[in-house]
């Protein structure tokens, strides 16, 4: 029997910090190690199996100890641990390249801790080919008596994936999220890009601290050129300038396209604004242009964040590329489903429901707004947490955080649906709003 678990456990016992990587080993080979449930009779072994089965590598001591401590303390269940690995960027990237058959094998080894039999592979791949979602299949494995028995053997509370799914889940602490943008320019180039925005948009110079703040963000790849443009144009300082529509268009030409507005373009865009097109839509159009891409290339920065939210993009094409329009659409008819309170399912899972049906609960509403906000170039994060229940106690809830001008704003479509009061760009602890607690970002 191939004892990859022995390797992981030896690292834990002797206290080494080396991470054994398996990048050069085919994924199909990794998930076919014949570790069996009888070997997994401790939390350490349970954790090691998750790393080898889902991530195709042995976890470092620090990584493994994180999960071991969580499971041993009872702060997370077996379901939450599996969900954390399943929802990690490492495993999700693997899913893009493996077959349905290998996906089923990874569930057998990761959840049931045994090699998949031919009958099981044929049955479950048939379900996928017939339209059943991979997440639903994961739920079937996690709610099985076999998984419960494996957890009991390791001394772990199994938990439940269905209607009583926990409202929070841990996420893999290592590795951290990758930057969203690649930068080729040096500090001087990026400094020049930022300085010109202070001059053109805010009509002033900048301090060394202000300059360094934006430049560091661009150099680290944590923001793109379009997100910095949003930061300046959506700032309270720019709003206080109270520029006219034609002045706004002229500023966009200079700041985003790097040139003065021609008479035809100035007239066309100003007319659109006068007829009701939002300024946010104008910024989206300018930032998506080849001219802006070339401008950013000259300064060595990435113009826009590359995302793959086609349904969000299609919806924005209909309602308008505007953040408020995205919010208004996301305040949708309510559908209660107790299974829709699990952050580990991911934003796209909930957004698919909302875009397809235009009905859902707080998680669904928040997910559709989150994806449209990211498509518009905003720094946005879906959040899972708790709010007070009308029946007493606390209840699971989801909303979105949007970061503008360095400030975090809460955007909560379900708050407006439930109370009739605006949940658009409110603040934590704002009088008259819900009390948000015990929360963490899902992305």
pLDDT in tens, 233-282: 988 899 999 999 999 999 999 999 999 999 998 998 999 889 887 787 78
Compute the mean pLDDT over every residue in the chain, rounded to the nearest whole number.
80
Q: What pLDDT is stored for residue 18 in this prediction?
A: 27
Q: How far is residue 427's CA from residue 443's CA, in Å, rounded to a whole number?
A: 20
In this structure, of 307-311, 375-379, 392-396, the range with the lowest mean pLDDT score is: 307-311
Q: How far is residue 198's CA from residue 428's CA, in Å, rounded to a whole number?
A: 29
Alpha-helical (H) ranges within 201-346 are: 208-220, 225-233, 236-241, 245-252, 263-274, 279-287, 290-299, 310-319, 323-330
Q: What pLDDT is stored for residue 249 in this prediction?
A: 95
392 to 389, 395, 423: CA distances (angstroms): 5, 9, 22
Question: Taking Cα atoms as reference points, which of 268, 245, 260 lies closest to residue 291?
Answer: 260
DSSP class of residue 109 equals I
pLDDT digit string (tens) for 415-424?
Answer: 999 999 999 9
Q: Does 317 score more than 60 pLDDT?
A: yes
Q: What pLDDT is stored for residue 127 in this prediction?
A: 85
Q: How far is residue 146's CA from residue 111's CA, in Å, rounded to a whole number?
A: 9
Given a contact cutoff of 8 angstroms between Cβ atoms, the answer to whether 77 and 159 are in contact is yes
Residues counted in the chain: 443
Helices 225-233 and 279-287, axial angle in degrees (round to 10) = 160
Any idea of the CA torsion for 7, 12, 13, 15, to the nearest 10 degrees? 120
Alpha-helical (H) ranges within 386-425 are: 413-419
Q: Does 386 score more than 70 pLDDT?
A: yes
**How far apart are the two ends of the chain, measured CA to CA in Å?**
39
63 to 19, 25, 240, 360: CA distances (angstroms): 9, 21, 48, 36
Q: How far is residue 357's CA from residue 367's CA, in Å, rounded to a whole number?
A: 13
Collapse the DSSP code of 336 into the 3-class scheme (helix H, G, I; strand E, B; otherwise coil) and give the result.
Answer: coil
Q: Does 12 score more than 80 pLDDT?
A: no
In this structure, of 62-76, 397-411, 416-430, the range with the lowest mean pLDDT score is: 62-76
Check: pTM over 0.75? Answer yes or no.
no
Helices 225-233 and 208-220, axial angle in degrees (round to 10) = 140
* Greatest alpha-carbon span in the chain: 77
In this structure, of 4-8, 91-95, 160-164, 187-191, the range with the lowest mean pLDDT score is: 4-8
Residue 379 pairs with which residues in a beta bridge?
A: 403
pLDDT digit string (tens) for 325-362?
Answer: 999 999 999 998 878 888 877 888 889 899 989 999 99
Q: What pLDDT is stored for residue 75 in this prediction?
A: 76
Residue 41 confidence class, pLDDT cut points 50, 70, 90 = low
**Phi, psi dihedral angles at 441 (to 5 degrees):** -70, 140
């Amino acid at each position: 029997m191939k004892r990859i678990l022995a390797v992981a456990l030896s690292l834990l016992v002797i206290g080494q910090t080396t991470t054994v990587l398996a990048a050069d080993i085919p994924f199909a080979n990794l998930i076919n190690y014949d570790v069996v449930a009888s070997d997994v009779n401790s939390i350490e072994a349970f954790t090691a199996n998750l790393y080898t089965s889902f991530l195709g590598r042995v976890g470092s001591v620090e990584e493994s100890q994180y999960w071991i401590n969580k499971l041993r303390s009872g702060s997370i269940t077996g379901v939450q641990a599996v969900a954390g690995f399943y929802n990690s960027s490492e495993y999700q990237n693997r899913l893009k390249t493996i077959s349905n058959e290998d996906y089923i094998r990874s569930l057998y080894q990761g959840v049931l801790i045994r090699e998949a039999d031919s009958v099981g592979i044929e049955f479950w791949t048939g379900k996928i080919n017939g339209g059943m979602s991979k997440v639903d299949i994961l739920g079937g494995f996690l709610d099985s008596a076999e998984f419960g028995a494996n957890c009991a053997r390791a001394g772990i509370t199994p938990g439940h994936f269905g209607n009583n799914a926990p409202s929070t889940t841990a996420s893999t602490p290592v590795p951290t999220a990758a930057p969203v943008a690649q930068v080729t320019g040096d500090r001087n180039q990026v400094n020049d890009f930022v300085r010109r925005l202070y001059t053109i948009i805010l009509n002033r110079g900048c301090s060394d601290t202000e300059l360094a703040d934006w430049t560091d963000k661009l150099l680290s790849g944590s923001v793109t050129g379009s997100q910095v443009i949003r930061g300046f144009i959506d700032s309270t300082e720019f709003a206080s300038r109270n520029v006219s529509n034609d002045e706004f268009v002229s500023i966009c030409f200079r700041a985003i396209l790097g040139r003065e507005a021609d008479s035809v373009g100035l007239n066309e865009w100003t007319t659109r604004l006068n007829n009701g097109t939002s300024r946010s839509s104008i910024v989206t159009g300018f930032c998506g242009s080849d001219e802006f891409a070339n401008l950013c290339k000259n300064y060595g920065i990435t113009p826009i964040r590359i995302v793959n939210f086609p349904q969000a993009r299609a919806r924005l094409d209909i309602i308008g590329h505007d953040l408020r329009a995205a919010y208004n659409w996301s305040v949708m008819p309510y559908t209660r489903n107790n299974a829709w309170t699990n952050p580990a399912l991911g934003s796209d899972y909930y957004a698919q429901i909302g875009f397809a049906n235009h009905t859902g609960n707080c998680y669904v509403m928040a997910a559709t707004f989150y994806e449209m906000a990211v498509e518009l170039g905003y720094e946005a994060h879906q959040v899972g947490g708790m709010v007070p229940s009308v029946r007493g106690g606390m209840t699971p809830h989801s909303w979105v955080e949007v970061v503008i001008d360095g400030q975090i704003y809460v955007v909560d479509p379900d708050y407006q649906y439930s109370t009739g009061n605006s949940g658009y760009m409110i603040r934590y602890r704002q009088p008259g709003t819900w009390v948000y607690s015990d929360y963490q970002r899902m992305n």
